[in-house]
Structure formats: C-alpha cells, structure tokens
Amino acid sequence: MKKWSSAWAGLAISYGSIVVVIVLLICSFFYIYFSRSYNEELQNKNQLILENTTRTIEGTILQRVQQMYVDLSLDKSVDIRLFAEPSTRSGLDSVIDLQELLKSKVAGNADMIQAIHLYYPGQNIMLSSLYGLRYNADQGEGSAYYSDWLQDMRTNKQNSLWTASRQVPQDIFSSVPGGTSGGSNALLTYTHSYPFQSTGKTGDVYIAIDVKESAISSIIENMMPSQYKSTFIVNRMGNTISNANADTLGQPREYDASIRKALQSGNAKGSFDDKIGNTSVVVSYQTLPLTGWTIYSAMPASFYYEQSIMVQKLILGICMIAIVIGLALSAVLLRANYSPIKRLVSRIKDLSGPAATQITNEYRLIDNAFMQLNDKVSSLEETLLANSPAIKHNAVLNLLHGGYSREQWAEERTALGILHPYQAYSCLLLNTGVSHIGLSSENLPSVISRFIHGLESLSLPDSRLIAEELPDKKLAVILCTDIASEPLLDKLSQLLLSEARQQFQLDLQLSSGSWVQELADLHRSFSEAQALMKYAYFMPELHILKDRSILQREHNMDEIPQAMLAKFRDKLQSRQMDEVIVTVEQVVEHMQEGQYPADYCHFILSNMVFIYSDVVKNVRYKHPLQFGHPDLYHEYTNLHDVLAYRNWLVESVTTFIEETEKRNSDRAVSTIELAKQYIEANLSEDLSLEAVGTKVFLSPKYLSKLFKEEMGVTYTDYVTSRRMEQAKVLMENNNMTIDRIASSVGYGTTAYFIKRFKEMYGCTPGHYVRNLSSAGMPEAGS
C-alpha cells in the first residue's frame, strides 16, 4: 500500500477533491443562476444593446459631422479662409456664396444639424448659416450662446473639441424679456480648426457645427426604450454631454456615484451591479471611440424570476451523477498522470545515486533535482558573463549586417563599449586573410588579438575604434567620431596599414566605406567597403581602396571574349605551352585594365581552373601539392591576388606539360608491352582499339599511334597476325574443326576467318590442314 506522503496519495486526494469542489460549484452556479437572477444574461443583453446604440450614434451622427468638416475643408467652390488674411478677402458675392454653402450643408442634414459657423480668430469675425456675418463676434448680443466653444478653441492644444449640450434659443439676438419664447434647442457643438493639422491656438479658421441633441436622444429612445429615462452620455469628467430625457439636460444627483464608478473602471465598456437609492440596478457603459464620451445606462434588476422546484431537483440529480462520473474519471487520470511522475522519479534516482532513495515524497525529490539544476544554470550564467568577447563579436556582426533597428541599437551600444552616440560612423576593412598563409595556426590568434587590442587602445580625439575579426578572415574596424572628414579617414587608413605591417610583417590592403549618421545604418558603409575589397584581388598595387568610381564596375555588363577560354582549353589539350601562357596573361591583363565586375572575373578565373582540372584528370596526372591540398580549385582559393594566380597557373601548367611529355615518352614502350600481353591472352575476345585502350588507360587514337611508331605496323595488322599464328598452332596440334578454330581466335563467322587466312597465307584453312596430313606439315602458301 502506498504511503500517504507519496505523490500517488496526494494526486488521489487532489483529483477527488477537485471533482467534488467542481461539481458543487457547478451545482451552486446553476442553482444561483436559475433560482436567484439572470444578471449575467441581463448584462450581456444590455451590453449588446448599448454597443449597437453606440455604433449607431457613431455612424449616423458623429462620423457624419466629421465628414461634413472634411467636405467643407476640401470644397473647391468657395474659399474657407475668406477672412483669414486681409489679402484674401473678397467682396459680398464671396461671402454670400460661402454662407449659401453652409446653408446647403445644414439643409442637407437638417435631421441632426442646427447651424454651421465659420469663426476667424485672427479677425474676430464669424460667418454663420443661421446668424449671418458678425464682426467682433465674441462681443455683443447672443455671443454667450457660442462663447463656450469659441473660448475653449482659442486655448485648445488639439485641433478639435466637442461641447456638452446646452439650450440655445431660436432667436439669440432678442433683447425682449422672454425673447426665447420662440423656442429653443438643446445643441452640442463640434469644432475643428482649419487647416487640418493646426491646433486651436494656430488655426486660421474654426469650423463649428451645431448638432441637435434630439438626434442623439431619438436614437437612444428607439434602440433602448426601456432604459430611456436612465441613459446619459457623459464626458471623461463625468459631466453630462447629452441626456436622453428631454425634461432636463443634467442627470439626477443619485446617479453621480454610479457614473463615477463606471468612469474610474478604466475599461472602454463593461457592466456591474449597483444600487441607486433603494433600487438594485444593472449598470452598463460603453465608450464612444470618436469622442471619448461614455454612454451610461442603469436598468432595474427586477426582471429576475425564480426557477421551479423541479428544476432545482433536476440540477441536484445531475450533480450527483456528475460526482460519480468525475470520481471514475479521476481514477483513470490518476493512473495516467502518476506514470510519468514515476518514470521521472526513477530516472532521477538513477542519476542521483543512493542519497535520492531515502526521500519518500516524489515531489520533494523532483524539487531537489530542480534545485541542483538551478545551481548548474547559475554556473552557466557566470560562464556566459565571462564570454563577453563572444557577445561583442556577435553584436558587431549583427551591426555590420543590419540585424537590429535603431531602437534596438540604443540598447546594444553598451555591448560594443559605445557610451554615447557619435555624429558619424564609418567602416574600414583590412584584408588580414593573407596573413593566415604566412603565420602558423598557433601564433595567428594571439597576433590578431594583440592587433585588435592595440587598435582599440589608440587615442583619437573625439573618436573611438572598434575592431573585430570577421568569419571571412578580414578585420572590420568601426570608426565612431564627432568630426567626420576624409583626412581623418585617410590618416586612420595609413595608421592601420602601418600597424598591420608591424604585426604581420606583410603589406596588406584596406578598403573604406562612406560616412553614415546613425549606428544602425553602419551596414551600408560596411557593404560599400566589402564591395571595394572585392577589387583588391585585381588591384594588388593599391593598398587603400576608397575610390567610389570602382563600384561602377559592379553594374557593367561587358564580358571577356569567350574565344580566350576556348583558346586556353585547346592549347592546353594540345600541350602548346607558350600559347597557354600567352592566353593566361591576356586574360589577367583584361581583368586588370577592363571594367569587369569582380564576381564575373572570379567566375572566369575559376572556369580556367576547372578547364585545367579536367585536362589533368583526363590524362590521370597528379599535380604537385603547392598549398597542401590535392584539389586545384582549393589551391586557387588560397591565392591572395590575380598576379599570384597568374604565376601559380603558369607555373603549374608548365610543370604539367613538361611532366606529361616526359611521362608519355617513358610509358610508351611499357604500354605497348601491356597491350601485347593482353592481346596474346585474349585472342578470342573483343580486341578493338576501344576495348584494349580501356585496359591500358589510353585513348584509341593514341594507342593506334603508339603501335605504328613502336611496332612499325598498324594495330589491326598486328592483331590479325597474332590471331592467324594462333590458328596455325591450333591446326597443327589439335584435331579441331575450322569453325571451332575461327571462334577460338576471335572471329564471329567462319567465312570471314577463311577470307583473312587466305589473304595472309595464300591458301584456305582446309587446304592447309590437308597439306599437314599428307605432306608432313608444309609451309602455308607453298
């Protein structure tokens, strides 16, 4: 039996407890849901209605108002900035046209727009679709009814604002007491500066649109009839913007606390239970994105109804069944989940030794194992901290290849030792790959490290150097400076070459990229330096490559005449040494004097190496190891410039032709002997030039030539003579038929054998056999 302190017992208790608790919670949930309230359903329904109402207000009112501002701003038929500057003012006709435009816009949107006003703050002039043209607009009769948006816009740092709703009489100029008896409207005003990007302080014109509060109220009344009396639109401060209740523009004070609670929630929408007075309500709120206002609605929670006793009993029965099923599933899960724990504990015990077997609780054992693992991770982190040079190396590589954005490089500067941004950056490349040939593998890393340390410790005014060896055996030097100048770059280039000469005892080549203003753009300078460095191979006489005109070769489409490569191949195959050397020198001269791209030139050079390699393989020639590698292409890749390539190829081809000629002369006699031995042993087989040439590793043409030169007869005549001699031996020493003798000496048909025998000996094989029997073996042809 398992101990109560074990993981198995803990899992069993946990699963059983979870099942009971979950079922009880579900039971309680259903009981509460069906027997006490439909709060959640009610909130979701209210929230959905409120969202639809919000979208309708946004689409039919707010967006239309903003679109009217855009239409007025873009209208080319009139000049919105009519009074903005004295030089642009026009006559009465322009004023009338502009007012007519405003009136037409109002008439087209009369369902929600009361009036449109254009106010020119610099001149204190207002042109209104309703009030006409007013000078000194912020003074005099009626100015109080629009002074709210006018004064707020003058100090507004934004380009637009919405006012709360207010009562505005139809006749704002009446001085008669009770002059508003003609009626009034509750209006909200949307004001936006013109031009569009200007603020209230800097705008030339304010375009103000009076929106009827009744348009918003009617939407709320149509879409939320049951919540109509308790629905308000408030701003971020909790002040009423619009009240769907037409009797008053402000909300009753008992709603203030609930509204503040909705605004302080920090959410764009939501719902919660609250109490207003003695009434329990469900509060829903939704933010209008275009204005930041919030629609607040409070609905009584009296819509709840109780579930029947039968439903409660049904829920209780279902919960009991769920407990039984849950406990059964828990047993299955217990077995399934304990198995991996058991395997893990067994593995830990095997790795930890006898000390781990004394711990009875599996979780404690796993915890100890993780603590040991944590100690090892901490040790690994210390090791990573000690590897800061590698981190710097990766940061430099990412910088040179544009691996980070400007924001990311602001954090990576510390890894490079750059404590503050500089005004300019440039990248220089030093071709230290040549030094890998001259120095031993043991000394090279220390020399490179000493060289980099010496560069980074150089004292340059208002500048800093960062040096790092690249994977392609080049050394990248990043110059960070506050004073960017070509003389500084030239001075640094000379200094780098001087230091390299002292460290490596070699004259190296250097290329420099252009200046950039941001560290994150350094990859462009690096790419330019890389492109220039490609031409160092073809310009070994230049130690500093900085002429940007060289880069024009990258886009040149000219090609080296293909006839040169064809000539190189033909002359190499025919062993014409002088012609081969002339061709190689011509190709190198074309590359140095022409405007061919570097990659194309390397392609041509490698093609020449491949041609040479094919010729060498065809004659089974093993060339001497100049760079310690049997492959010609690898030898070519170790050459540091085109002149070294030319000298290497000329020397290698010369050695190849001389050795091949000597080898052909020495091997001619021995090859003939091997061919003769093979012919003698295989007279009945295929002895064509192709078959025998394959056996002695010579071409058929060359084998035929050797036979003629060394034996004085053609290959065919020699094979025929040996077959006929063998046929005579068989006739003299064996009692064989002519057919079998013909087959034994390699003739497929007896007739052709008889013909060749008669041509050589003057008689047929039968006649020769008969003469042997009757005349004591006379000579053939006698």
Cα–Cα distance, 366 to 345 (Å, whole number): 7
* In a shared domain, residues 75 and 221: yes
Place 244 in a pLDDT band, splitting at 50, 70 and 90. Answer: very low
- The reported pLDDT for the residue numbered 399 is 83
- CATH number, position 289: 3.30.450.20
Q: What confidence score (pLDDT) does residue 534 get?
A: 87
For 475, which DSSP code? E
Last residue of a domain, one of 554, 581, 597: 554
Q: Is residue 674 part of a domain?
A: no
Please state, in angstroms and rounded to a whole number, the distance separating the CA atoms of residues 696 and 163: 106
pLDDT at 780: 41
| Bigger pLDDT: 244 vs 743 | 743
Q: What token pair was written down for 481?
A: 């400076």
Q: Could you please report the per-residue DSSP string of 145-175?
A: GTHHHHHHHHT-SSSEEEPPPEEEES-TT--
Whether 52 shows a pLDDT value over 70: the answer reads yes
The string of pLDDT tens digits covering residues 360-395 is: 667 777 777 778 778 777 777 777 666 667 777 788
Q: Which of the two residues, 233 and 388, has the higher pLDDT score? A: 233
pLDDT in tens, 461-494: 778 888 888 888 788 888 888 888 888 888 888 8
DSSP state of 252: P
For 523-573, the three-class secondary structure string (H helix, E strand, C coil) is: HHHHHHHHHHHHCCCCCCCCCEECCHHHHHHHHCCCCCCHHHHHHHHHHHH
Compute the half-sphere exposure of residue 610: CA atoms within 13 Å on the CB side of its CA: 8
Cα–Cα distances in Å, from 452 out to 15, 449, 465, 477, 761? Answer: 64, 5, 10, 9, 89
- Output 664 or 419, whichever has higher pLDDT: 419
Residue 397 binned pLDDT confidence (cut-offs 50, 70, 90):
confident
CA–CA dist 494, 477 (Å, integer): 13
Strands 510-512 and 113-120: unpaired
In a domain, 29, yes or no: no
Quick one: average pLDDT of 275-304?
82
The pLDDT of residue 627: 46
| pLDDT, position 179 | 46
CA distances from 687 to 105, 254, 682, 742 (A): 107, 120, 8, 15
Domain span at residue 413 reads 388-554
What per-residue string of b and e applies to 449-458 under the rule 16 or more CB within 10 Å gives b?
eebbeebeee
How distant, in Å, are the alpha carbons of 62, 192, 630, 736 from that of 212? 11, 17, 93, 130
Shared-domain flag, residues 561 and 546: no
Which of 126-135, 391-400, 647-656, 658-667 has the weakest average pLDDT?
658-667
Q: Are 765 and 657 part of one and the same domain?
A: no
> Where a domain ends, among 554, 580, 607?
554
Higher pLDDT, 660 or 126: 126
In terms of DSSP bridges, do strands 544-545 and 510-512 run parallel, antiparallel, or are they unpaired?
parallel
Same domain, 406 and 460: yes
Distances (CA, A) of 77 to 72, 73, 101, 579, 715: 10, 11, 9, 84, 105
For residues 568 and 528, state if they share a domain: no
pLDDT of residue 65: 92
Examine residue 27 and state whether it is found in any structural domain, yes or no.
Answer: no
| Helix H or strand E encompassing 120 | strand 113-120
Q: Kind of pairing, strands 184-194 and 166-169?
A: antiparallel
Position 307 confidence tier, pLDDT thresholds 50, 70, 90: very low
In a domain, 735, yes or no: yes
Please name the residue that has the structure tokens 């070459």.
497
> Do the beta carbons of residue 39 and residue 303 sit within 8 Å?
no
State the total domains in the chain: 4
In this predicted structure, the answer to whether residue 130 has a pLDDT above a threshold of 80 is: yes
Q: Does residue 22 sit within a domain?
A: no
Residue pair 670/598 in contact by the 8 Å Cβ criterion: no
Q: How confident is the model at residue 1 (pLDDT cuts 50, 70, 90)?
A: very low
The pLDDT assigned to 182 comes to 54
Would 660 be classed as within a structural domain?
yes
State the angle between helix axes of 388-400 and 362-386 in degrees (0 to 180), rounded to the nearest 10.
70
- The lowest-confidence range among 401-405, 413-417, 514-518 is 413-417
Averaging pLDDT over each range in 246-260, 611-625, 685-699, which range is the top one? 685-699
> Distance between alpha carbon 325 and the CA centroid of its chain, in Å?
51
What value, to the nearest 5°, has the Cα angle with vertex 11 and ends 10 and 13?
Answer: 65
660 & 701 share domain: no
Q: Read off the tokens for 604.
A: 């041509």
Residues 6 or more apart whose Cβ sits within 8 Å of residue 674: 695, 696
669 domain-assigned: no
In Å, what is the CA distance from 441 to each residue of 436, 445, 470, 641?
A: 8, 7, 16, 22
Which one of 24-38, 192-206, 452-466, 695-709 scores highest in mean pLDDT? 192-206
What is the full DSSP assignment across 274-322? EEETTEEEEEEEEE-TTT--EEEEEEESTT--PPPHHHHHHHHHHHHHH
Distance CA 278, CA 255 (A): 12
Cβ–Cβ under 8 Å, residues 84 and 204 = yes
Q: Please give the average per-residue pLDDT across 75-97, as a whole number.
A: 78
pTM for the whole thing? Answer: 0.42
Phi, then psi, of 78 in degrees rounded to 5: -135, 170
pLDDT at 570: 79
Q: For residue 238, what pLDDT is reported?
A: 81
The model's confidence at residue 311, banded by pLDDT at 50, 70 and 90, is low
The token pair that represents 480 in the structure block: 């960070």
Residue 313 domain-assigned? no
Most confident of 5-9, 89-93, 370-374, 562-566: 562-566
Q: Do residues 718 and 708 both lie within one domain?
A: yes
Same domain? For 260 and 280 the reply is: yes
Per-residue model confidence (pLDDT) at position 390: 76
Which among 106, 67, 99, 105 has a CA at the least distance from the CA of 83? 99
Percent over 90 (pLDDT), the chain: 8
Q: What's the pLDDT at 146?
A: 86
Per-residue confidence (pLDDT) for residue 649, from 0 to 100: 87
Q: How far apart are CA 775 and CA 782, in angstroms?
A: 11
Highest averaged pLDDT of the listed ranges 252-256, 264-268, 571-575: 264-268
Contact of 417 with 466, CB cutoff 8 Å:
yes
- Which residues, at least 6 apart from 15, have a Cβ–Cβ distance to it below 8 Å? 330, 331, 333, 334
Give 88's pLDDT tier (boundaries 50, 70, 90): low
Average pLDDT, the chain: 80
Residues 81 and 147 in one domain: yes
pLDDT band (50, 70, 90) for residue 32? low
Same domain, 548 and 656: no
- For the record, the structure tokens of 499 come out as 């230091």
586 and 547 in a common domain: no
| Cα 782 from Cα 779, distance rounded (Å) | 6
- What average pLDDT does the segment 718-724 reach? 89
Question: Last residue of some domain: 275, 300, 325?
Answer: 300
Shared domain for 499 and 601, answered yes or no, is no
Residue scoring higher pLDDT (273 or 303): 273
